[in-house]
Amino acid sequence: MKKKICLSWSVALTAVLLGAGMFYLLYRNVRTIKDQTCRLSQAETRTAVLNDSLRILHDSIIRLNDSLYNAQFFLLRYDGNAMRYLEKFHGERPGWEYFIRRKLLQTNPPKGSNPLIPFDGINGPLRFHNVRVLNHKWIIADFSDGRNWGQMLLEYEPLGRDSVRFGVIRALVYPPEPAE
């Protein structure tokens, strides 16, 4: 009888231990599932944030490409028709834009104002600084005396291999800013 009771207690204890072990495993699995669900939710949130950031960056790239296209639209090197015109009537030359810009900047004398600029400098001689060759006929340029500045539209025509004729179409000088 004692053996039977011992065996019954043994079976009962084993059943309790198995039940407790199963409960523990079930608890751990539920806890693991909750942890995984929480991590999955966090990953989904991060993914949504990253997707929004990616969409914003993609939109920015599209806008920048549009801006770049618009900025390059009026540049000689991107104007195939203007380049073909120059090459047809004035010969093929690598770096037309650089050549024309350099020739205009060379009109800045070592001393005094540039003779193409139809204004007198107040703070010193007026000289060209930034030059953009728009196409096969026109240039836009800015000039300054160090404090006062203006802009002008010029026409140009290559003469031979090493010479360019420039003419002023329109020029403006901005009113001087008050001294601080």
- Tell whether the model's pLDDT for residue 72 goes beyond 80: no
- Tell whether the model's pLDDT for residue 67 goes beyond 90: no
pLDDT value for 116: 95
pLDDT bin (cut points 50, 70, 90) of residue 5 is low
pLDDT bin (cut points 50, 70, 90) of residue 9 is low
pLDDT value for 57: 87
- Residues 6-22, mean pLDDT to the nearest whole number: 71
Tens digit of each residue's pLDDT (9 = 90 or more) over 21-62: 777 777 787 788 888 888 888 888 898 888 888 899 888 888
Q: Whole-angstrom Cα distance, residue 62 to residue 104?
A: 35
